[in-house]
Amino acid sequence: MNKKIRTTSQQLTQLFLTLFIIILFLVNLAFAGISTAFIYNNAHEQAEEVIDTVSDNIGGHDEHKNKKEWKLFLNAYLARQSNDAISLKTPKGKTVYSEDGEELFEKVKNHRNYNNVVFMENSVYYLRTANEDGYRISVILNVDDLFTLITHLLLAIIILNLIAIICSIPLIKRFSRKWSQPLEKIDQDIEAIEHQTTAKKKVFVPKQPAEIHHLAQSFNKLLEYQDKAIQREQQFVTDASHELKTPLAAIRGHINLIKRRGKEHPEIVAKSLQYIDSESSRMEILVNELLELGRAKKQHQSIDPIDLVPIVQKESEILEQEYDTCSVYISSPIKLFCPIEIKDFRLIVHNLLDNAAKYSQDNAKIKVELQKDNGYLILRVKDQGIGIRKENYDKIFDRFYREDQAHSSQIKGTGIGLAIVKDIVTKYHGKISVSANTPKGVIFEIKLPL
């Protein structure tokens, strides 16, 4: 279980070393194979040559030669210094041998023959027999010299290989370390970031290899994203506390006022209570919206499509009742189905319609368009209100952001409504955008995949 995890460098070293040894082994094997084939061919050719020459030189009358004459005749075809031999069986069945041949042939007969090669008493022989013009000619060639030469060569190569393996270890180690260096550097950076021993918020991005280059880049993007998310969360907590602190301070102020002066000046009690009532309801709205914001992000399961048209109609009616001088015009098919939770769609329509009415003067005319387009649901809310400055188009979806105009014109709000809408739309993989309406006001457009 507690097996030590090996580093990339160690793994690479082991891999390269194994590969190197396998390659060396294969090269040696090939060398051994080629040399054996060389000895074999060489012996075979020599034997053939001897047989051919002997057969070429046997005359018809050679039948009458005695054993001694045959021996002299056969000796002429053998190299003096080597321990070779020839035997010849005449058509009449007489077998004659070269010098010491009989003994050698007798020994060879008692040893096992591997493809014409015979190993005996520290010597290697090649045996070849051929029938030529009724004569049976057998040749035994001693191939010790060749064999010893090749064995020595092989031994030398094995020693060289061992030296090469020993010398290659530090070299392979160095290369492996060099190749795994980018990974090690990234690992160190990650550890430093994790333990906050560095102010750095990025890991080292090596130029090569490509995969590690991309990996480091993606990791840095992820770190950046995470950092921004943390900052956003911190900002959110600060903003939320601030937004809650203001009405709370006002409420506490009025309670203290009532405590201190309520008895002597009972007329302030009613005024302060009214103030407390309005501030606490502001807090209630804010807390509810914060709760909605938390809920809006939660991922949805697969949802059955619902008809959106009645929801838009219902929300428009509620709005017209709330803002009695405002009118909503709906343009939609009779039915339009989309897979979305009722509560989510209602919240989108409610927040957009509420803003459209809130940021318009009296007699506001709001247009709502609902349609299908290329596999998307399109919802547009158009108003003729005070509009939004173009440079603030992106900011209005941030939590707690409110345009100056809205504050100065004393329109009540928390700056969370559009953030909730954006979170819901994102949850359904949709998009929200804002643009200017003509002659004035804004158009909010929502695109949801069907």
- The Cβ of residue 357 has, within 10 Å, a number of other Cβ atoms equal to 20
Q: Does 415 bind ligand ADP (CB under 6 A)?
A: yes
Look up residue 282 and give its amino acid. Answer: R
Indicate whether 402 belongs to the interface with ligand ADP (CB under 6 A): yes
Question: Which of residues 142 and 351 has its CB atom nearest to ligand ADP in the complex?
Answer: 351
Find out whether 342 and 306 touch, Cβ atoms under 8 Å: yes
- Asked whether position 355 contacts ligand ADP by CB under 6 A, the answer is yes
Least Å distance, CB 319 to ligand ADP, is 12
Q: Using CA atoms, how far apart are residues 127 and 113, in angstroms rounded to an integer?
A: 8
CB-nearer residue toward ligand ADP: 337 or 401? 401
Cα–Cα nearest to 330, from 307, 353, 347: 353
The dihedral through the CA atoms of 32, 33, 38, 43 has a sign that is positive
Residue 324 has what DSSP assignment?
Answer: T
- Count residues binding ligand ADP (CB under 6 A): 22
Q: Which of 58, 140, 150, 396 binds ligand ADP (CB under 6 A)?
A: 396
Stretch that binds ligand ADP, among 70-78, 144-152, 178-186, 409-417 (CB under 6 A): 409-417
Distance of CA 120 to the CA centre of its chain: 62
Q: Does residue 356 touch ligand ADP according to CB under 6 A?
A: yes
Return the residue of 101, 182, 247, 417 that touches ligand ADP, per CB under 6 A.
417
Cα→Cα distances 11→7, 17, 161, 171, 206, Å:
6, 10, 22, 15, 20
CB nearer ligand ADP, residue 376 or residue 401:
401
The β-bridge partners of 125 are 118, 142
Residue with tokens 């290697």: 124
Q: By CB under 6 A, is residue 403 in contact with ligand ADP? A: yes
8 A C-beta contact, residue 83 and residue 142: yes
Q: Please identify which residue in 379, 413, 423, 447 interacts with ligand ADP, judged by CB under 6 A.
A: 413
Lay out the site mask for ligand ADP across 20-49 (x = CB under 6 A, - = otherwise).
------------------------------
The yes or no reply on residue 86 touching ligand ADP (CB under 6 A) is no
What is the nearest approach in angstroms of ligand ADP to the Cβ of residue 329? 16
Looking at residues 362 to 391 of the shown chain, list those that interact with ligand ADP (rule: CB under 6 A). 383, 385-388
The Cα–Cα gap between 36 and 122 comes to 17
* Residue 418 sits in the site that holds ligand ADP (CB under 6 A): yes
* In the complex, least distance from residue 303 CB atom to ligand ADP, rounded to whole angstroms: 25
Tell whether residue 247 is a contact of ligand ADP (CB under 6 A). no
Residue-wise DSSP of 24-74: HHHHHHHHHHHHHHHHHHHHHHHHHHHHHHHHHH--GGGGG--HHHHHHHH
Give the footprint of ligand ADP on this chain (CB under 6 A): 351, 355-356, 359, 383, 385-388, 396, 401-403, 406, 413-419, 442
